[in-house]
Each structure stands twice: as structure tokens, then as C-alpha cells.
């Protein structure tokens, strides 16, 4: 695997440029299907960008179906045949109004995914959901944004449906679907931010408990409540978005 060092320019579009550079590495064969991407630190060094730029670029690559992140393992290049057939491009999440619209779509899909997961989940699915919850808690305690763990939790619910269409959808959306950055302006302090993340994780725990108990209606209601609350938090961050 050859990841030739390149220094990117134009600060306003570094994430886009990094996506283009890494996509070209995949298309040219320097990164092959099944290859694990370098670490965030290695990409930062190779391309001369910040961690934030790397994470945004990886989210965009996920949304475009080029890579898949496996929690606790790494990010891997997908075979072309693995590219999700359903895609919502990052450009479709460029405004607060569009993110809210996507949340409305997710409410309809993920509410039923949670219900199916409650019926079909396996012990392995439960273990992976527990791992995602633990990763979320660790991120809170370490002062991180918990976006990766948040997305992982929703991905694991999709997998627990045993229906690949739900999994394809969540892979297509990528971690960029987690709207954390959209409300950063109203989280004025670290304690406020941590309290916000704890509320989100409590909602996740309610979903998990219902799925673990195989309570279909409770799982459906808990997911609807969680995503509806996310939508309302976004609306409150910008009253003009309603």
C-alpha cells in the first residue's frame, strides 16, 4: 500500500481535497479493496492537515461508499461491488434545514430498524451494541465528541435487523450523518457539552435496553424519541430552520 505524501493547500477546501486525493489513491490501485487506511496521525503527517480535516474526509469517503469504518479495528477500502446502492452525498447535508430533513427520513427508517432488531438480534449483536455504548461513555469522559461511537451504535442496530438494506443505508450515510457539529455553537462550555452527550447516551441506553429485552414496541418508541429529540435540538439551535 502506497500513500504518497502530499501537502494540501487552500484552507477552505482541505477536506474536499483530501477526499479527492484519497479517492484517486483508491482508483489508481495505490489503496486496494480490503486495505486498511493509515491511522489519523499518519494521514495528518502525510497530507499536512489537522485531525478535524482527516475525520471530515473519512466521513465523506464513508458517505460516498469508498470506505467502511469498523469500530475498534480501523477503516477499510471497500470493493466496488460493496458500494451502497443508496447514497446521500455530503452536499445533501450542507445546511441545517437539510440535516433536519435527513433526520425526518431517519425517523421513519430507523424506528422500524429498531423494532426489527428487537426481534432478530443475536447475542453477538447485543455485545456489539454494548461495545458502542462503552465507546460513547469513554468519549464523554475523555472530552471527545463521540461521533464515531454514536454512528457505530446506529450501524449495529442496522446490522441487528439481519437485513442488509438497513446496513447499506447506514454505511452510505457515514459518520457525517451525526449532527453534532450543528449545535456546537449553543454548547458554550465543556460541562454543557458533556451534559448534552450524556442525554444522548441515555437515549441510546433506552434503545439498547428495549432491543436486549426484545420489546418491539419499546424499541420502536425509544428510537423515535431519540431521533425526534435530535431534530428538536437542531431546531432550537437555529429557529430560522423551522
> How much is the average pLDDT of 163-167?
87
Domain endpoint, select from 82, 104, 119: 82
Domain endpoint, select from 56, 82, 108: 82
Are both 189 and 209 inside the same structural domain?
yes
Are both 118 and 193 inside the same structural domain?
yes
Residue 231: name the closest of 91, 104, 98 by CA: 104
Question: Do the domain assignments include residue 166?
Answer: yes
Residue 204: name the closest of 241, 148, 149 by CA: 149
**Selected residue with higher pLDDT from 7 and 169:** 169
> In the structure, what pLDDT confidence band is assigned to residue 87 with cuts at 50, 70 and 90?
low
Question: Do the domain assignments include residue 5?
Answer: no
Question: Do the domain assignments include residue 234?
Answer: yes
What is the reported pLDDT for 81? Answer: 54
What is the reported pLDDT for 28? Answer: 80
CATH number at residue 232: 1.20.120.530
pLDDT at position 23 over 60: yes
**Selected residue with higher pLDDT from 52 and 63:** 52
What is the reported pLDDT for 107? Answer: 94
pLDDT at position 1 over 50: no
> How much is the average pLDDT of 59-83?
79
Report pLDDT digits (tens) over 98-126. 788 888 999 999 999 999 999 999 999 99
Are both 97 and 211 inside the same structural domain?
yes
Domain endpoint, select from 82, 117, 144: 82
Are both 48 and 97 inside the same structural domain?
no
Are both 20 and 123 inside the same structural domain?
no
Are both 16 and 96 inside the same structural domain?
no
Residue 184: name the closest of 136, 233, 135 by CA: 233
Question: Do the domain assignments include residue 2?
Answer: no
Are both 98 and 205 inside the same structural domain?
yes
Are both 141 and 229 inside the same structural domain?
yes
Place of cell 437485513: 163
Transcribe 68-108 into DSSP letters: EEETTTEEEEPPGGGS-SS---GGGGSSHHHHHHHHHHHHH
Residue 9: name the closest of 18, 237, 1 by CA: 18
Report pLDDT digits (tens) over 219-235. 999 999 999 998 888 78
> How much is the average pLDDT of 184-200?
70
**Selected residue with higher pLDDT from 241 and 52:** 52
**pTM of the complete model:** 0.63
Residue 135 CA, chain-centre distance (Å), reads: 13
Are both 123 and 208 inside the same structural domain?
yes
Question: Do the domain assignments include residue 180?
Answer: yes
Bridging pattern class, strands 67-70 and 74-77: antiparallel
Expressed as residue numbers, the domain containing 191 is 90-241
> How much is the average pLDDT of 75-102?
68
Are both 219 and 116 inside the same structural domain?
yes
CATH number at residue 56: 1.10.10.10
Question: Do the domain assignments include residue 1?
Answer: no
Q: What are phi and psi of 72, to 5 degrees?
A: 80, 0
**What's the number of domains the chain is made of?**
2
Q: What is the pLDDT of the chain when averaged over all its residues?
A: 82
Are both 37 and 100 inside the same structural domain?
no
List Cβ neighbours of 201 (8 Å cut-off, separation of 6 or more).
133, 136, 137, 140, 146
CA distance 30 to 44: 18
Percent of the residues in the chain that have a pLDDT greater than 70, as a whole number: 80
What is the reported pLDDT for 80? Answer: 62
Are both 165 and 226 inside the same structural domain?
yes
Amino acid at each position: 500500500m502506497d500513500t504518497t505524501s502530499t501537502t494540501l493547500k487552500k484552507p477552505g477546501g482541505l477536506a474536499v481535497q483530501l477526499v479527492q486525493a484519497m479517492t484517486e489513491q483508491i482508483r489508481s490501485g495505490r489503496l486496494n479493496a480490503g486495505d486498511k487506511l493509515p491511522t489519523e496521525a499518519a494521514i495528518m503527517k502525510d497530507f499536512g492537515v489537522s485531525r478535524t480535516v482527516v475525520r471530515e474526509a473519512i466521513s465523506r469517503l464513508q458517505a460516498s461508499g469508498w470506505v467502511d469504518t469498523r469500530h475498534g479495528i480501523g477503516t477499510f477500502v471497500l470493493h466496488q461491488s460493496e458500494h451502497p446502492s443508496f447514497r446521500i452525498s455530503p452536499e445533501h447535508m450542507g445546511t441545517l434545514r437539510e440535516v433536519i430533513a435527513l433526520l425526518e427520513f431517519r425517523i421513519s427508517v430507523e424506528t422500524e430498524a429498531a423494532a426489527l432488531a428487537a426481534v432478530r438480534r443475536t447475542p453477538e449483536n447485543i455485545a456489539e451494541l454494548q461495545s458502542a455504548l462503552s465507546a460513547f461513555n469513554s468519549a464523554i469522559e475523555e472530552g471527545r465528541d463521540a461521533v464515531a461511537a454514536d454512528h457505530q451504535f446506529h450501524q449495529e442496530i442496522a446490522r441487528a435487523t439481519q437485513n442488509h438494506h438497513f446496513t447499506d443505508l447506514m454505511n452510505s450515510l457515514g459518520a457525517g450523518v451525526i449532527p453534532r457539529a450543528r449545535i456546537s455553537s449553543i454548547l458554550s462550555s465543556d460541562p454543557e457539552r458533556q451534559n448534552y452527550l450524556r442525554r444522548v447516551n441515555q437515549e441510546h441506553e433506552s434503545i439498547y435496553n428495549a432491543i436486549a429485552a426484545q420489546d418491539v414496541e419499546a424499541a420502536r418508541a425509544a428510537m423515535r424519541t431519540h431521533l425526534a429529540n435530535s431534530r428538536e435540538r437542531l431546531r432550537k439551535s437555529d429557529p430560522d430552520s423551522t
